Each structure stands twice: as structure tokens, then as C-alpha cells.
Chains A and B, each alone.
Chain A
Amino acid sequence: MSIENLLLPRKKELLKSWFDLFVRAYAPEAAVMLKGESNQFANPVGQTSLSAMADILDEFLNECRIDKILPPLGRIIRIRAVQDLAPSRALAFIFLLKGLVRQILDGETAAGKVSHADLAEFDERVDGLALAAMDIYSKCRDSLYEIRIGEIKNRTNRLLLKAQIIAEVPEHKSERHDN
């Protein structure tokens, strides 16, 4: 029996443990709120993260299709990318799955139902998830700088146009430019 098959019936337990560890990156006061408040508008970080982690696990323990994993992974990484966390800290929660799975399947491992090869294969998938998260994180940071530049352009572009410091080619050849 594969690790995934053993984990599927215990998905809730895995999710709860993973989320419990996830909120430990935050201050104790915040962790209480992130775990305790179930209204998604009163607790956007906690609820978005929890539902994204649930969606990630759903797919991760099944077919592990990249197009199904990237959207929820994106939801959670997009938040982490603007929080007061170094990239290593922002992504470290993903690697915790390795230890959690060993903990949860401790009995099965002892009973010989889980081999070293199974665990190694699972670890590799976790690494794949982390690498995908790294791509997303990097894109989020890039977009942050892009929108920062866009904002400055929006603020001043018309002034530059009007001051005739820049003269762009008009988009439409309408009559107004002939008048």
C-alpha cells in the first residue's frame, strides 16, 4: 500500500497538524486568531491558508496534477511573499510535511508497511512542491516591483505627456489629432 493510500483516510489529521505548525511562524496572539476565527473575512490569512492547504493535500495525496496544485499553492504563497518573512521562512512550512508524515505513519513504518523507498519517494514529491512554491514566490516578488513601477507611471505619465517631455505614437488615428 502506498503512503498516499495510508494517508488519505487520515487527511484531516494531517491537515490539522500541518496548519497547527504553519501558524507557529506568527506571534502567539496572532496564532490564536489565525486558528480560532472561522469567518474568512475576519481572518483572511488563516482561512485562505487553511483552505489552500486542504486543496493542496487533496491533490497531493491523489494525482498530484500540477495545474490543480498551483492555484491553491499560489493563494498561500502570495500572502507569504508580502509578510515579514525571509523567503526561507516563508516556504519552510512545506518541508514540515516530511516530518509530519513520519509521525503520523509511525506505527505503519514500524510494522513494515512503509518502506524507506516509499518515504524517499514521498520526500521527493514534497521537494517538488517546495520548488513550485519557490517559483511562485519569486513571481510574486517580481510582480510587487512591477506594480510599484506601474503606480509611479500612472502618477506621472500624463504630466510628462502634457509637458511634451514624452510624445507617444497615438493609439487610434482619430479626427481629434487632425483638428
Chain B
Amino acid sequence: MAKLPKPSELALDYTLPKKGWMDAAVDFRPGTWSHAARAKNLEAAGLPNARQWSPADSDWKLPSNWKQIIFEGMRERLEKFRSLRIFMDICVRCGACADKCHFYLGSGDPKNMPVLRSELLRSIYRGEFTLAGKIMGSIAGARELTENVIKEWFYYFFQCTECRRCSVFCPFGIDTAEITMIGRELLNLLGLNIDWIAGSVANCRHTGNHLGIQPHAFKNMIEFLADEIEAVSGVRVQPTFNRKGAEILFITPSGDAFADPGTYTMMGYLMLFHEMGLDYTFSTYASEGGNFGMFTSHEMMKRLNAKMYAEAGRLGVKWLLGGECGHMWRAVNQYMDTMNGPADFLEVPKSPVTGTIFDNAASTKMVHIVEFTADLIRNGKLKLDPARNDNLVMTYHDSCNTSRGMGFFEEPRYVIKSVCNKFHEMPPETIREQTFCCGSGSGLNNDEFIEMRMRGGLPRANAVRHVEERHGVNALSCICAIDRSALTTLMDYWVPDVTVYGVHELVGNALVMKGESERTSDLRGDPLPGMEASEDENI
């Protein structure tokens, strides 16, 4: 019988298996993996091998010909995507990416090093698709495909948020996120997905958004927020739904409609659109900016992206305006043109307020709201009172997808500085193209994964804590719905005195609207700076 361990044994005995990485099996400990996709969600999304299973089970109920499915899947993708073959061949394992991953920095698990995470797939590629690997085996970095390898893929490809920070540092420009994407795509051929993603995909296809909010509920929710706006500002905004012939179709993540603090960001959008007299409409079917298809397969990403454009066509709008979202923008900017684009049936977006033509969206016909608002401010179209945000000492988190996926750095900062007087940047190695992920992106923002999310979010939280200690920062802004939710949780654990805001919530606070009553509270119902006393009087 084993003896009671001594502290020195516990502290010094490195716990991960001492076997070589190729042979070490994964230990599925709760908190580090997400629940398996439920059969009904896989079926609804048209994904194969729908069944009841759990990653903690020893038998994953793989189809009998699973190996053949994987090899054929790899072969097809290696032929279809030249980039994949290059990414498989070109890595020299220089290690430049190794210490750039937030999950590696937070966990110390070597298989979270991007180079090693990619090797999980690359080793199988070498063994099956290269002569050297076939002949020399492990000497050439090849290994045999076993069920344990599949389990390892599931564990680590769903422990990567596809943030692409590692690819910024790769001298060959290998996009490690795309390796994860292909890894997940292969896993999906065997029915191996997580339910947080598969459920969102199924609901999005079937009902129109991740939670499956039905049209009447979606409309009611937005109108409920209009009531809230009226209570704060005295102004009644009049959003419309499924209105044919509107100039603009507005699409934002559904989290903005129902999840705090995204709802306050939605209030900001509604106030801005009302003030500008924008001719826009919501769609209750394209009621989701998020595209969890991107975390499943490129076909699924294409399908979910297509429904936004199908709705634009059905409603006969001229162009699309998109809300504060992360991966929706990466799908639109990086992938859409070769999937569903160009959207020639729409017009090149032109701001009806300033006349600015958004040439950058000439192909996709979709403009980011922060870009749209920055243009309004630049042209002096908004009356703003930034002092209303004077209780906030602000910093800004560059969302991975808008920064690395579309090079969107200045516009959000320009808007924030126009509506907030107090702003401090986090250290340069943690923002802009080097930004640290929230730790919950790419469909990993589920609650059972919380421990891993806190680990992965540590580098981001560490930089926030730095500006909190140095400059008294108490507010963190961002332009991504997953960030708004995930960073709130992250701050609760690591830097509890910092509150998370969407940029358009700040715009809504600062926006001086025609006919508004004297504002005493912000969009959250908290007293505005200097109004604390009058709030007390009301009570």
C-alpha cells in the first residue's frame, strides 16, 4: 500500500506523466474540459455520429471505421487547403510561439505550447502522409493514430481559443489557430464536439440565435431595453423588426439582447441609432452575430454566415451594420469572401449621416459599428458629454478577432477617448496585435470549463491588475460579446474592483440626445458622477 506522501514529494514530484509526449495519455479532470455535444444538437446541425457520451468515459463510442474517417478527412483537407499542407510541412520547431499562448502561460502544460499543440496533428500527418514518417516513424516525428490520440486532440483543440497570438510571433507565419480549426473539424467527423458549441450552432440554424430565443421573445427583449432607455433618458427609441425596405440591417451577438452587461451595450446602440435617425431594422432570424460554426467546421461557418446575407436579401436592405462582436468579424473579414462573397446584391456601405463610403467593406457590405461611430464623431455629428463617464478610469482590451483578425486598433480607442476623459493603456506587449485573449473565446465560455478559463485569462488579468495598481483603473472596455461576459467573470476572480463595459454603453452614457430629460443615472441605473446626492433625494 502506498505511504502517505511527504510535502517534499508533493511539491517536487512533477505531476504530469513522465513518458514522452507522444505516448502520454490525457487525464480528463473536471474543470479542464467541456461537456460533450448532445445527440439532439449534433442531429439538428446535421453532424455525424450523434450519441450520448462523455469525455470522462473510457469508451467514446467512435464509429467502427473512425481511423479511415480521420485519414480521409485529413487527405481531403490537405488537398483542399494548401495553407494546411504548408503549415504541416514548414514548422522547424524553433519555439518562437512556445511561450506566447495564454493557456501555456497560465497552466505550464507543455501541450498548450502552440508548437506542441500543432505537433499533435502534425505527428499523425507525418506518419500517414510523408515518406520519411512512414519509414522512420518516431525518429521523423511521426506516430500512430490511436484512440488516445483522438482523446488528446479533443482535450487540447478544445483548450485553444483560436486567438492567433502565437501566429504573430511565428517567423513563417503559421496560423496555429487554423490548425486548431482543422483539428476540430476532423473531430467533428467523428461526432466529437462540445455542447456549448454544438447547441449554439443548432439553435442558431434552427431559431436564429445561440440560446434559441424565438422571434416574439427577441422583439420583447429589445423593447424592454427601450423601456429602460426611456427611464434613464426620457427618450423613447423605436426599433423595428423584420422591416422590409429598411436601409440597414443591424446584426449583433444575441448576448447583447439578453446577457448582462451586453444589454447595456445594446441600449447604447439603440440610443445612437435613434439620435441619428437611422433607417435600420433588426432581423429576428439573423438575430445572432456570433458564428459558432467557425468553431465546428468551415462548412458550418459558411452556413451561419450565409443566413445573415439571406436575411439582408429577403428584407431588401442596402447594407449591413454589425455590432460589437469578435469572431463574427473574423468570419466576415477573413473567410466570407471565399465562402459566400462577394455580396454583390448589396450596395457599398455609405453612412447616411456623414456620406462616408466604407470602401473597406466594398465586398462584404458589412460595417463594424465602432467604425461607423468613429466616423460620426470625426464628422462632429454627435453631441457628447464625456464627463458622464468621469467615475470610470478606463482601459481597453483589444479583442483577438478584431485586432489580429482585422487590424482594428485605432477606431475603438478614438471612440473611447471621445466619450471618456480618463483612459490608460495596458502595457504594449499585452495590447493591439499582441493582445492577450480573455481565455474563453472560440466557444469555450461555458461554466464547466471555468478553472481552465481562469488559467487562460491570467495573462490578460495580470495586465489589468497592473494598470489598476498603477493608475487606479476601475473599468475595462471591449468590443466583443464573449469578452463582455468572460472578462466580467475573469475580473471577478483576479481583479474584483474592475468592471467591464462595452464601448457603446459608454457612448450611450455620454450621448446628449435631443429632448432628453436631465440624466441622473447611467445605463445601469447607477448615479452619474455628481448626481449621487440627487439620487438620494429621490429616494
| A→B interface (CB under 8 Å) | 21-22, 24-31, 33-34, 37, 39-45, 48, 78-79, 82-85, 88-89, 92-96, 99, 143-144, 147-148, 150-152, 154-159, 161-163, 171-176
Interface pair B11/A96, CB less than 8 Å apart: yes
- Chain A residue at minimum C-beta to C-beta distance from B459: A44
Cα distance A29–B114 when bound, in Å?
13
Q: Enumerate chain A residues within 8 angstroms of B459, measured Cβ to Cβ.
A: 41, 44
State the majority secondary structure of interface residues on B: helix
* A82 with B454, Cβ < 8 A, contacts A33-B99, A155-B258, A158-B260 known: yes
- Chain B residue at minimum C-beta to C-beta distance from A159: B258
- Of the A-B pairs whose beta carbons lie under 8 Å apart in the complex, a sample of 5, sorted by A's number, is A24-B14, A44-B462, A143-B493, A171-B525, A174-B231
Interface pair B99/A37, CB less than 8 Å apart: yes
Q: Enumerate chain B residues within 8 angstroms of A175, measured Cβ to Cβ.
A: 231
Interface pair B224/A92, CB less than 8 Å apart: no
Cα distance A159–B255 when bound, in Å?
11
- Interface readout for B1-36 with A: 1 if CB under 8 Å, 0 if not? 000010110111011100000000000010010000
Q: Could you tell me the distance in whole angstroms from the C-beta of A87 to the nearest C-beta in chain B?
A: 10
Interface pair B11/A144, CB less than 8 Å apart: no
Q: Enumerate chain B residues within 8 angstroms of A158, measured Cβ to Cβ.
A: 221, 224, 258-260, 263
- Chain A residue at minimum C-beta to C-beta distance from B105: A44
Interface pair A148/B5, CB less than 8 Å apart: no
Q: Could you tell me the distance in whole angstroms from the C-beta of A139 to the nearest C-beta in chain B?
A: 11
Interface pair B454/A144, CB less than 8 Å apart: yes
**B338 close to chain A: CB less than 8 A:** no
* A144 with B450, Cβ < 8 A, contacts A27-B14, A150-B492 known: yes
Interface pair B429/A42, CB less than 8 Å apart: yes
Q: Enumerate chain A residues within 8 angstroms of B258, measured Cβ to Cβ.
A: 155-156, 158-159, 162
Cα distance A52–B14 when bound, in Å?
22
Interface pair B488/A21, CB less than 8 Å apart: no
Q: Could you tell me the distance in whole angstroms from the C-beta of A21 to the nearest C-beta in chain B?
A: 6
- Chain B residue at minimum C-beta to C-beta distance from A157: B260
**B538 close to chain A: CB less than 8 A:** yes
* A30 with B493, Cβ < 8 A, contacts A44-B462, A151-B488, A158-B259 known: no
Q: Could you tell me the distance in whole angstroms from the C-beta of A95 to the nearest C-beta in chain B?
A: 3
Residue picked from B10, B104, B451, most chain A C-beta under 10 Å: B10
Interface pair A27/B430, CB less than 8 Å apart: no
Q: Enumerate chain B residues within 8 angstroms of A99, measured Cβ to Cβ.
A: 8
* A24 with B492, Cβ < 8 A, contacts A158-B258, A162-B221 known: no
Interface pair A88/B5, CB less than 8 Å apart: yes
Q: Could you tell me the distance in whole angstroms from the C-beta of A133 to the nearest C-beta in chain B?
A: 12
* A95 with B105, Cβ < 8 A, contacts A154-B260, A158-B263, A162-B221 known: no
Cα distance A117–B493 when bound, in Å?
41
Q: Could you tell me the distance in whole angstroms from the C-beta of B431 to the nearest C-beta in chain A?
A: 10
Interface pair A148/B447, CB less than 8 Å apart: yes
Interface pair A84/B494, CB less than 8 Å apart: no
In this complex, how many residues of chain B approach chain A with their Cβ under 8 Å: the count is 58
- Chain B residue at minimum C-beta to C-beta distance from A87: B10
**B458 close to chain A: CB less than 8 A:** yes
Q: Enumerate chain A residues within 8 angstroms of B525, measured Cβ to Cβ.
A: 171-172
Q: CB within 8 Å of A: which of B191-235?
A: 211, 213, 217, 220-221, 224, 227, 230-231
* A95 with B221, Cβ < 8 A, contacts A41-B430, A144-B451 known: no
Q: Enumerate chain B residues within 8 angstroms of A94, measured Cβ to Cβ.
A: 7
Q: Enumerate chain A residues within 8 angstroms of B104, measured Cβ to Cβ.
A: 30
Contact of A27 among B11, B110, B220 (CB under 8 A): B110
New A-B pairs, 17, CB < 8 Å, besides A96-B8, A155-B485, A158-B221: A22-B11, A28-B14, A30-B110, A41-B427, A41-B466, A42-B429, A43-B105, A44-B459, A82-B106, A83-B455, A88-B5, A89-B15, A154-B485, A156-B258, A161-B224, A172-B539, A174-B231
Contact of A159 among B98, B213, B454 (CB under 8 A): B213
Contact of B462 among A40, A156, A176 (CB under 8 A): A40
Q: Enumerate chain A residues within 8 angstroms of B230, measured Cβ to Cβ.
A: 176
Interface pair B221/A176, CB less than 8 Å apart: no
Q: CB within 8 Å of A: which of B255-293?
A: 255, 258-261, 263
Q: CB within 8 Å of A: which of B522-539?
A: 525, 538-539
**B54 close to chain A: CB less than 8 A:** no
Q: Enumerate chain A residues within 8 angstroms of B5, measured Cβ to Cβ.
A: 88
- Interface readout for B435-465 with A: 1 if CB under 8 Å, 0 if not? 0000000000001001100110011001100
Cα distance A21–B231 when bound, in Å?
59
Residue picked from B11, B107, B211, B451, most chain A C-beta under 10 Å: B11
Q: Enumerate chain A residues within 8 angstroms of B12, measured Cβ to Cβ.
A: 21, 24-25, 96
Q: Could you tell me the distance in whole angstroms from the C-beta of A29 to the nearest C-beta in chain B?
A: 5
Q: Enumerate chain B residues within 8 angstroms of A96, measured Cβ to Cβ.
A: 7-8, 11-12
Q: Could you tell me the distance in whole angstroms from the C-beta of B60 to the nearest C-beta in chain A?
A: 22
* A26 with B492, Cβ < 8 A, contacts A84-B107, A144-B450 known: no
Interface pair A24/B455, CB less than 8 Å apart: no
Q: Enumerate chain A residues within 8 angstroms of B8, measured Cβ to Cβ.
A: 92, 95-96, 99
* A162 with B108, Cβ < 8 A, contacts A144-B493, A172-B539 known: no
Cα distance A91–B55 when bound, in Å?
29
- Interface readout for B95-117 with A: 1 if CB under 8 Å, 0 if not? 00011000011111110010000
Residue picked from A41, A43, A156, most chain B C-beta under 10 Å: A41
Q: Could you tell me the distance in whole angstroms from the C-beta of B452 to the nearest C-beta in chain A?
A: 8
Cα distance A99–B8 when bound, in Å?
9
- Chain A residue at minimum C-beta to C-beta distance from B496: A143
**B489 close to chain A: CB less than 8 A:** yes
- Chain B residue at minimum C-beta to C-beta distance from A48: B462
Interface pair A84/B110, CB less than 8 Å apart: no
* A84 with B447, Cβ < 8 A, contacts A95-B8, A147-B493, A158-B259 known: no
Interface pair A41/B463, CB less than 8 Å apart: yes
Cα distance A83–B488 when bound, in Å?
20
Q: Enumerate chain B residues within 8 angstroms of A143, measured Cβ to Cβ.
A: 492-493
Q: Could you tell me the distance in whole angstroms from the C-beta of A84 to the nearest C-beta in chain B?
A: 6
Interface pair B259/A27, CB less than 8 Å apart: no
Interface pair A147/B106, CB less than 8 Å apart: no
Q: Enumerate chain A residues within 8 angstroms of B213, measured Cβ to Cβ.
A: 159
Interface pair B7/A95, CB less than 8 Å apart: yes
Q: Enumerate chain B residues within 8 angstroms of A85, measured Cβ to Cβ.
A: 15
- Chain A residue at minimum C-beta to C-beta distance from B228: A176
Cα distance A27–B107 when bound, in Å?
10
